Structure 1
Amino acid sequence: MANIKPFRAVRPTRDKVSLVASRSYQSYTQSEREARLDHNPYSFLHIVNPGYKYDKEISGKERYQLVKNRYSEFKEDGVFVQDKLPSFYVYKIIDRDHQVFNGIIAAASVEDYKNNVIKKHEDTIESREIIFKDYLKTVGFNAEPVLLTYPDNANISFIVNEVQKERAEFEFTTTYRDTHYLWEINSANDVQTIANAFAEMDTLYIADGHHRSSSSALLCDALTAENPNHNGKETYNHFMSFLIAESELKLHEFYRIIKDLNGLSKEEFLIQLDTIYRIDNRGIMPYKPSKPHHFSMYLDGEFYSLYLRKNDYTFKTALDQLDAQLLYDTILKPILGINDLRNDTRIDYLSGKKDVVNLKSMVDSGTFKVGFGMVPATIEQLKAIADEGLTMPPKSTYIEPKLRSGVTIYEF
């Protein structure tokens, strides 16, 4: 059973939420960050980039303490206020493409993560886990929820739909033309109904936020060891999550772009591909695959379709069926010599949400030699891989929705 709890979020005031909310720090270009920091004193970027105040790059423990200081200042100035009652928060996004995402922001259990009630499908990097654990321990809050998905549930959907008939606590539109809404749920009946619905679920799945989850587990262990009065009810026993029904989750692929052909000529490369793929030259017109185990390839100014010769390939696990893994097993590793997908500088990734023309331009620029596209993974594949205790290659899925930082904050 999944243990999902309401919590007392720290939130911006209604009049300032649109100014506070920000995308993840890494998603901005330097000029975009500087523009927001120069002209918006309420941006959450001021908290996560505290050195900007001193015109200095600051890292490590010194930065963590300054993040805590900036956060405290936002609370002292009344920009952030903590809710009086533990609540679930219904969060809705309508993006520029008119896609609608509904979910619930809540506290998920670290114990559930450790016991595999909350299942993962990606490996984490230990050094990143430790860095983020140390960051969380110093600053004392988390502003980016882990994205969890669950089977569609009629009771939860009913409450989510009913609460949206009332005026939203927050409603704001970003410069990306996404509109965000937030409602509080703190009535005893609704809170219990939601908690009971999740308690009846055997498994939740991490869709996005594997490092945040693992770091929260490390933080819980550290704070438990330091607390002689630990009783399991402390806030550090949970971590902030955005729970979304499987039917509302949107998965995109990632393109793979490679800097060279591993010493092969174009003709030698195509001949090696021919042993396991049926290859058709599609010319200059952009091509995207429409079926699993079909790939697009852009090489030397032309698009190609690659169809797996299934008689020569055997699938043994759910991971084998994943196209990102198949591409690695049949092309990236044996032909192009890319063994370490996380650290090899010869490979890069582009979100499949962007047009295939972006892939073409990267190759045409000469920075990259060849690019590959595939169909997106499915939620069923993600779950099957997690259920088998396996992990996807990095950048196997680009998952929506993407929430803004600083809209709800979870304190430890």
Structure 2
Amino acid sequence: MVVRPFKALRPTKEMISKIAAKPYDVVTEEQAREVAKNNPYTFYKVSRPEINFDHPVDTHDPKVLEAGRKHLEWLIENGYMFVEDKPCIYIYQQHWRDHIQTGFFATFSVDEYIDNKIKKHELTRKDKEDERALHVRVVKAHTGPVFLMYKSKPEIDNLIFRHATGTPEYDFTDETGVRHIVWVLKDEEEIKKIVDAFKSVDAFYIADGHHRAAAAVRAAIDFRNENPNYTGEEEFNFFLAALFPHNQLRILDYNRVVKDLNGMSEDEFLKKVSEKFEVTPVEGVYKPEKKHTIGMYLSGKWYRLEPKIGTYDENDVIASLDVSILQNNLLAPILGIENPRTDKRIDFVGGILGIEELIRLVDSGAFKVAFAMYPTSIDDLLRVSDEGKIMPPKSTWFEPKLKSGIVVHLI
């Protein structure tokens, strides 16, 4: 697999905490605007360029995207960001609560994505691809890193980990309590060891950022069509990502809340559920403690749901996922939610918000019932990707998220 060092556009040490921002797709326009009110340097002005306007705009409008490019130019012209003097790899470590994960920023091959050597597990939406591909083309940069992983090998991992020592280039804690540490690896011999080591790796896997990856590839194809004599070494043939060993990463639960019981009384609903699940009332708050246990919160009470024998095929990697078991045995047949991607009666709550958010949503009356899920495992995700299958919607919530604006890949 190809790992390619690059000359990053990056903030000065003094500006890193002001510029770095969450990925564009995990904040709303309103949230990004609120940050920008007190922080004119925020990278949201690049990644969410609509906030540069004080009126509603079309995010596909090149004039809007041009505002993002101009803000990036402003950051450079005023010395808040600069371009590295030589190709580097950027060792990236995140500390969140009791968890530490160490990987690195580099650029990765568009062709390996096209050839499915960079494996996916999610469907992407054309409209979101269109918007981000146009963003790449107008801003002439990959502004948000894709989140990649590889199957851990100690001999490769150690080539990375040994550089996560000494005085870092950046060390800051963001508004969510995540500490971000970056070391700049400039030594050509050490970079070559890492690059050469990954040549023996068979595949990379997208953990998060499927639309960013797809958009980078779409933009690259456009650039190739405009430059038929391209050599393959141009910057547009590579996209920005952070790569981690799979055993460093953490997936949180991705929970469900539903607005009604599909016309049933609570007794009727519980009776239906008990046909497919062992339903056990639980004292206090219940958070699933293992695979194939689901928490259900209804009218102030918690229940543990365990699927009965015959409700799923353990040999089918998709059907045996807890999110599939819930969908196929309860959400669709009992609550009538056939397509969770589009049904307005269901919503999804990332585990970062905690079980308390499920209780709040149901107790508020906005939703009738909540389902607390046990997190999908990294091993299940890898198996799905290796089999060329697609995860059900809202199956994984990776935390901590990568920051945008720490390094930018110019095209």
Q: Give the shorter-chain TM-score range.
A: over 0.9
How far has the Cα of 1:35 moved from its partner?
Answer: 4.6
Distance of aligned partners of 1:131 and 1:35 in 2 relative to their CA distance in 1, 3 Å threshold: closer
CA contact (8 A) 1:90 1:182 kept: yes
Deviates more, 1:209-218 or 1:27-36: 27-36
Distance of aligned partners of 1:249 and 1:371 in 2 relative to their CA distance in 1, 3 Å threshold: same
Distance of aligned partners of 1:25 and 1:389 in 2 relative to their CA distance in 1, 3 Å threshold: closer
> C-alpha distance in 2, partners of 1:292/1:158?
31
Distance of aligned partners of 1:267 and 1:394 in 2 relative to their CA distance in 1, 3 Å threshold: same
Task: Please give the secondary structure, in 1, of the residue aligned with 2:318.
Answer: helix
Is 1:80 matched with 2:81? yes
Distance of aligned partners of 1:126 and 1:36 in 2 relative to their CA distance in 1, 3 Å threshold: closer
> C-alpha distance in 2, partners of 1:193/1:31?
44
CA contact (8 A) 1:155 1:194 kept: no
Letter paired with 2:219: L
Within a 5 Å distance, the mapping from 1:239-250 to structure 2 comes to 239-250=239-250
What residue number does 1:217 align with? 217
> C-alpha distance in 2, partners of 1:309/1:349?
25
What residue number does 2:299 align with? 300
Task: Please give the secondary structure, in 2, of the residue aligned with 1:371.
Answer: strand
Letter paired with 2:286: Y
Q: TM-score normalized by structure 1?
A: 0.94
Is 1:10 matched with 2:9? yes
CA contact (8 A) 1:146 1:241 kept: yes
- Computed over aligned residues only, the root mean square deviation of the Cα atoms, in angstroms, reads 1.8
1:297-322 CA distances to partner (integer Å, 9 max, x unpaired)? 01111111111112454345211111
1:137-185 CA distances to partner (integer Å, 9 max, x unpaired)? 1111122111111122334333333323321111122233322111111
What residue number does 1:170 align with? 170
Is 1:159 matched with 2:159? yes
Distance of aligned partners of 1:194 and 1:394 in 2 relative to their CA distance in 1, 3 Å threshold: same
Task: Please give the secondary structure, in 2, of the residue aligned with 1:281.
Answer: strand
Task: Please give the secondary structure, in 2, of the residue aligned with 1:4.
Answer: coil
How far has the Cα of 1:282 moved from its partner?
Answer: 1.8
CA contact (8 A) 1:143 1:407 kept: no
Gaps in structure 1 of 5+ consecutive residues: none
1:200-233 CA distances to partner (integer Å, 9 max, x unpaired)? 1111111001111111111111111110321111
CA contact (8 A) 1:278 1:307 kept: yes
Within a 5 Å distance, the mapping from 1:121-140 to structure 2 comes to 121-140=121-140
Letter paired with 1:269: F
What residue number does 2:378 align with? 379
What residue number does 1:98 align with? 98
What residue number does 1:369 align with? 368
Distance of aligned partners of 1:34 and 1:135 in 2 relative to their CA distance in 1, 3 Å threshold: closer
Task: Please give the secondary structure, in 2, of the residue aligned with 1:291.
Answer: coil
Q: TM-score normalized by structure 2?
A: 0.95
How far has the Cα of 1:44 moved from its partner?
Answer: 1.5
Gaps in structure 2 of 5+ consecutive residues: none
Q: Name segments (4+ residues, structure 1) moved above 6 Å.
A: none
CA contact (8 A) 2:146 2:209 kept: yes
What residue number does 1:69 align with? 70
What residue number does 1:265 align with? 265
